[in-house]
Structure 1
Amino acid sequence: MSDTRDTSISDTSGLKRSLRRKTGSRNYNENLMDELIEKHLGAPLRKKKNRTQQDLEKETETEALIALSLGFPIDELLDEEINAGVVSTLGGKEQNDYIVVRNHILAKWRDNVHSWLSKAQIKETVSNECTHLINAAYDFLLVNGYINFGVSESFGSQIFEDSTEASVIIIGAGLAGLAAARQLMSFGFKVIVLEGRNRPGGRVYTQKMGQKGNYAAVDIGGSVITGIHANPLGVLARQLSIPLHKVRDVCPLYKPDGTPVDKEIDFNVELIFNKLLGKVTQLRELLGGLAGTISLGSVLETVRQLYAVAKNCEERQLLDWHLANLEFSNAGSLSNLSAAYWDQDDPYEMGGDHCFLAGGNWRLIRALCKGVPIFYGKIVHAIRYGEEGVEVTTENQTFQADIVLCTVPLGVLKKQTISFEPELPERKLAAIERLGFGLLNKVAMVFPHNFWGEDLDTFGSLRESSRQRGEFFLFYSYHTVSGAPVLVALVAGEAAQMFENTSPIESLHHVLSILRGTFS
């Protein structure tokens, strides 16, 4: 049973109530993350002369918190660090000192992501006795893309010390391909990117919509930066000085007849929803391996009936809204999600608030493309690889290099439109066959004026039946970042599948009827 997931536009944090978390109402500037952490701990990141022992402890604590927000544990090493052999002996003083140095490097670069951070700069603020730890931590963080990445102009002149003449062909100019291209070029590789479409960005696509001077930048594909702290897209936005609008937690819900949901009932049903998810967690521990063969949807419904909750119509419709939101977070129907693995990527979620990027995510794509040689309209048909290198064949051209990096979508690999010679290893073929991917749909609309409220970034709409629960259940308002009054209605779960066979005009009329009934 596949675990479908769409991480770029979903919120997989906490108990899956996307975009309705209680957070402050403010926009991000390029230093906001550091400011928040400094305020929390009461110590600046920048080094001061004549620091006391208390200052040093505060500084170390601040840097540990920043590292934690970036996905590093407080007092342990990542598996990748262990495999890289960053310390000679696990545990003990050397590992503890390494973690302090590593956290310091992360914090120092996050303090100024516009400039390349060198080893020499680190050595100015760390004891000479830790030179070997500086080398180990710096090299690991650099090679694995935790520091010195992005689109800052100052990075262009920086080349990895052990530069190479090796050449790389990257297939696909989406976020993965473009980020890899820039990283490899900074390491001294010769890189070209082959893209089948006539544009870069892949699933990130900002479209100009509107008429008569009322135009808007609308993200048709991935549209929300989900978690600002460890998200590399947040770093790119800081480097480009692009404003980020925090998605506010005010998200009113409306019944099918357009009337607001009672706040007390909303609170109680949300509590029930979270408790049901908690029971699923307990049950899968009891079931062990059997939980992998049972769908999340069936377990949730069984538990709901067992505890006799959400029985009346209003409560059931409201619970359905939360289930639709869960399907949106996972980009798939609950019937296709495993009760054992539906939340398997929660430990890797990015902390912090969700944000809209002013002007659309295309601004990040355009910056990533700068200086990268990209060939458009090159649909790859075959990849031949061996000890002598690789040969990539398109419709009318062949490219040769030492290495190929294939970043095409999972769906393309499943269709086997690219032949590999020799065939991919069996473990990779099995993974491609076994992995699932989800489906989300949306209807984007530009209006003459904002009739839903300037203080709303999201609002929800309940459906009559459970089967329809994901149909236009959540609306995004992009008026703060798009340049015009824009609403995007989301479709998730089984409704997203049915949407595929619905005409655009019919879908638009349906959305407008919901809006008229709610904001008459």
Structure 2
Amino acid sequence: MNSPNETPDQFSQFPLPHFTLTPPLPNPNPNFPPTPNSTPTLTPVLDSNTNATPSLDDQLLPFPVPKKRRRGRPRRTASTSSFQLLTFPNDSFNPNVPYSDPNPYSIPSSVAASTQTSQPKIADEIIVINKESTAEALTALSAGFPADSLTEEEIDFGVVSSVGGIEQVNYILIRNHIIAKWRENIFNWVTKEMFVDSIPQHCRTLLDSAYDYLVTHGYINFGVAPAIKDKIPVGLSKGNVVIIGAGLAGLAAARQLMRFGFKVTVLEGRKRAGGRVYTKKMEGGNRVSAAADLGGSVLTGTLGNPLGIMAKQLGASLFKVRDKCPLYRMDGSPVDPDMDMKVETAFNRLLDKASKLRQLMGEVSMDVSLGAALETFRQVYRDAVTEEEINLFNWHLANLEYANAGLVSKLSLAFWDQDDPYDMGGDHCFLPGGNGRLIQALAENVPILYEKTVHTIRYGSDGVQVTAGNQVFEGDMALCTVPLGVLKSGSIKFVPELPQRKLDGIKRLGFGLLNKVAMLFPYVFWGTDLDTFGHLTEDPSRRGEFFLFYSYATVAGGPLLLALVAGEAAHMFETLPPTDAVTQVLQILKGIYEPQGITVPEPLQTVCTRWGGDPFSLGSYSNVAVGASGDDYDILAESVGDGRLFFAGEATTRRYPATMHGAFLTGLREAANMAQYANARTAKKKIDRSPSNNVHSCASLL
């Protein structure tokens, strides 16, 4: 039986709506090809005995997707968005009914072109692998795959000879089946031969393409299980790769590239691996100790989260961060729950109004901040007018600034939450013992050179040269995983200079700051019935100062409490003496607990972070600032030098920015891209990568 805060199997309670994959309709306008990454039209197959034709809306079953819960306190009154899955009347869908795709169009890929000439003709019928297609589609959905269409990445890889029709449907069924089978036992290495008996002979080519794609891009057979770690070949002969940075992105890429047969050298400026993921062991007298996550700490969403899968491979159980989060006034007295709920509801309502406003404003909203919109609405609707209401409103602004590591006055009204549709879903969790366990497992047997501060990266048609101090490291390719703050600072010189579109993207995106005060106490005095509690301030400019406390007593191995500093206060905190910071935190705690008759002891050890002053990060994580958009994440991810210099890290993924799992996934993504370029060079083929359809680049071209 699971402990109260232990996360059970995430799929055991998952609703399984009935839906079926169907081929897309013919393109209604033959002059314009369908968009590759658009969702195909879903067509109900009607029973021959049905007299009336049901409307399409009657066939669609709403499937709730929880709106992204930002870090810190979740939105308790959050609405849920939904997408719709197709159902069929009277279970009339027959997978054996032949279907001919009347208007397929070719994939714009040289890989697809070669596949099309050699691939045997796929029979015009939808295959039946088993009776679990719905459950397998949901598993694939949690891994980031749409239920009834291909991703742009799959299209680029050339998984099918043409997009649309029966071949695509069969590929998706096979892809989902492979993912689901590996998820059943993430400790084993899944081989292609395991599926030969269940996949029809005429679909073996699709099995090959689905398996190769999933393995190459790290959707299966990834992590730190012994059976997977042992798959690194003895002879590394594919080429030499230099990776700058031993954070989650760099380590994920290094392990994957080594598995592909590349010789890898990782250069890390610090004395440790992990980058912005840093678990420090804190110790006091009487053998009291705890593991404090001073950087990335919460796994935001567990459904399909690759770090959750790795934690399971390590034998760790994730612990849910409980929703209970009481707030306390400046004098330490608790905020009235009704008042708390009233202001929170008003705050969420203003966020919804801001969303509607940007729809009305269109592109103009790119030049307006979220903070300006919220403050205007607050004054117009007078949702927070009393002193306590304003203090509560400011607390929620601080929570929002924590979620985005940026001031609301600098966040883009248009795109601050552009990644919401890609939320992993599931609980927000702690990893017992700290996220350093993941780093330690990933870094094992990876060749990392520490205290190597890179200052120059040269790239050209013949390879790369990376200079750290007076040492030069040469390779066929390089992967740069340094944080956006380092790229913004210009401390690394690129020769030749990076393309202007990438420099502009680096400048537009925001990179904010979050700091922490970690305190190890001799015992737990705050109770173990909650994981978070908040504290209000009167000064709006200091609203993020120690506004939220995290209790790690249940997972850190000792009585550990962390106080967060967000927003403008995080920048002021950088110059605050540590003793003053600890004194202020203790005053807050004494104001809360001493009126309850609880003595607050002196901490045994304290640590104050300074992420803004760390030369290897210069901040915490990225956000979409005014003037930027999600396209800028794509621009930062683009390789340069005709497949010689690549980029990874949380600021290079528009789907999962500012998250640990986002950084990890970009490492796997770039390992696949690097392998593809290396293979193309060996085969003397040219890979055509279309640039992002960014509004700024289009404007500059005009």
Tell me how far apart the structure 1 counterparts of residues 446 and 173 of structure 2 sit (CA, whole Å): 36
Give 1:334's match in structure 2, choosing from 405, 408, 423. 408
Deviation (angstroms), 1:58:
5.5
Q: Is the 8 A contact 1:475 1:490 kept in 2?
A: yes
Aligned to 1:235: 309
User: Could you say which residue in structure 1 is the equivalent of 2:582?
Assistant: 508
Deviation at 1:65? Answer: 1.4
Mapped pair 1:26 → 2:23: no
Deviations 1:109-158 (A, max 9, x none): 11111111111112233333322222222222222211111111112443
Counterpart selection for 2:12 from 35, 38, 43: 35
* 2:49 counterpart residue number: none
Opposite residue 543 of structure 2, the aligned amino acid is: R
TM-score by length of 1: 0.88
**1:325-350: per-residue Cα shift (whole Å, max 9, x none)?**
11111111101101111111212322
2:418 is matched with 344
Amino acid at match of 2:5: R
Q: 1:75 to 1:499 in 2, by over 3 A?
A: same
> Structure 2 vs 1, CA of residues 206 and 127 (structure 1 numbering), >3 Å: closer, same or farther?
same
Q: In structure 2, give the amino acid aligned to 1:412.
A: V
1:75 match: 148
**One-letter code of the match for 2:243?**
I
- Asked whether the 8 Å contact 1:41–1:58 carries over to 2, the reply is no
Q: Give the letter for the 1:149 counterpart.
A: F
Counterpart position of 1:151: 224
Q: 2:406–2:510: 8 Å Cα contact kept in structure 1?
A: no
Give the equivalent residue in structure 1 for 2:238: 165
1:164 CA drift (Å): 5.0
1:243 deviates by 2.4
User: What secondary structure sits across from 1:334 in the alignment?
Assistant: coil
Corresponding position of 1:456: 530
Which amino acid in structure 2 is aligned with residue 354 of structure 1? Answer: H
Q: Tell me which of 98, 116, 128 is aligned to 2:171.
A: 98
* 1:47 alignment partner in structure 2: none
Determine if contact 1:296/1:337 at 8 Å carries over to the other structure: yes
**Is it true that 1:428 corresponds to 2:502 in the alignment?**
yes
> What is the aligned partner in structure 1 of residue 55 from structure 2?
none
Identity %: 57
CA distance in 2, matches of 1:480, 1:80: 40
Contact map agreement 2:301 2:424 (CA 8 A) in 1? yes
2:318 to 244, 263, 273: 244
Distance between the aligned counterparts of 1:216 and 1:480, measured in 2? 10
CA distance in 1, matches of 2:301, 2:150: 23
Aligned CA distance change for structure 1 residues 106 and 62 (closer, same or farther; 3 Å): same
Distance 1:502 1:467 in 2: 15
Q: Distance between the aligned counterparts of 2:478 and 2:129, measured in 1? A: 46
- Partner of residue 392 from structure 2, selected from 312, 318, 328: 318
Task: Provide the secondary structure at the position in 2 that maps to 1:342.
Answer: coil
CA-atom RMSD in angstroms: 2.2
Q: Distance between the aligned counterparts of 1:306 and 1:164, measured in 2?
A: 66
Change (3 A) 1:372 1:304: same
Shift, 1:97, TM fit: 1.9
Contact 2:236 2:258 in 1 (8 A): no
* Contact 1:25/1:248, CA 8 A, preserved across alignment: no
**2:519 alignment partner, SS class:** strand
Please list the CA deviations of residues 350-389 of structure 1 after superposition, one character each: whole Å capped at 9, or x if unmatched: 2111111111111111110111111111111222222222
CA distance in 1, matches of 2:230, 2:543: 53
1:461-508 Cα distance to aligned partner (Å, 9 max, x none): 122232222111111000011111111011111111221221111111
SS in 2 for 1:158: coil
Alignment-mate amino acid for residue 124 of structure 1: D
- Matched-pair contact (CA < 8 Å) for 2:159–2:209: yes
> 1:242: how far off?
1.7
For residues 124 and 481 of structure 1, the distance between their equivalents in structure 2, rounded to whole angstroms, comes to 44
| 2:479 alignment partner, one of 405, 408, 419 | 405
Q: Secondary structure at the match of 1:149?
A: coil
Distance between the aligned counterparts of 2:352 and 2:562, measured in 1? Answer: 31
Please name the residue that 2:373 is paired with.
299
Q: Which runs of 5+ in 1 are unaligned?
A: 1-23, 44-52
SS in 2 for 1:336: coil
Is contact 2:322–2:531 with CA below 8 Å preserved after alignment?
A: yes
1:451 deviation in Å?
1.5
For residues 54-203 of structure 1, what are the structure 2 equivalents within 5 Å?
Answer: 59-158=132-231, 164-203=237-276
Kept in 1, the 8 Å contact 2:455–2:467? The answer is: yes
Distance of aligned partners of 1:194 and 1:296 in 2 relative to their CA distance in 1, 3 Å threshold: same
2:565 to 486, 491, 506: 491
Task: From the CA coordinates, give the structure whose radius of gyration is larger.
Answer: 2
Distance 1:74 1:120 in 2: 25
Check 1:127–1:394 CA distance in 2 against 1; reply closer, same or farther (3 A cut): same
Q: Equivalent residue for 2:449?
A: 375
* Residue number in structure 1 paired with 2:681: none
> Once superposed, which parts of structure 1, at least 4 consecutive aligned residues long, lie more than 6 Å away?
53-57
Equivalent AA in structure 2 for residue 387 of structure 1: S
Matches within 5 A, 1:190-229: 190-212=263-285, 213-229=287-303
The one-letter code sitting in structure 2 at the alignment partner of 1:60 is: S
Q: Which runs of 5+ in 2 are unaligned?
A: 19-93, 96-127, 595-702
Distance, in Å, in 2 between the alignment partners of 1:26 and 1:289 is: 44
TM-score, normalised via structure 2 length = 0.66
1:388 paired with 2:365, answer no
- Preserved CA contact (<8 Å) 2:129 2:198: no
Q: Shift of residue 433 of structure 1?
A: 2.2
Cα distance in 2 for partners of 1:464, 1:158 equals 57
Are the aligned partners of 2:140 and 2:180 in contact in 1 as well (CA < 8 Å)?
yes
Bigger mean CA offset, 219-228 vs 122-131: 122-131
Q: Secondary structure at the match of 2:510?
A: coil
Residues 290 and 448 of structure 1, relative CA distance in 2, 3 Å threshold: same
Distance in 1 separating the partners of 2:322 and 2:264: 41
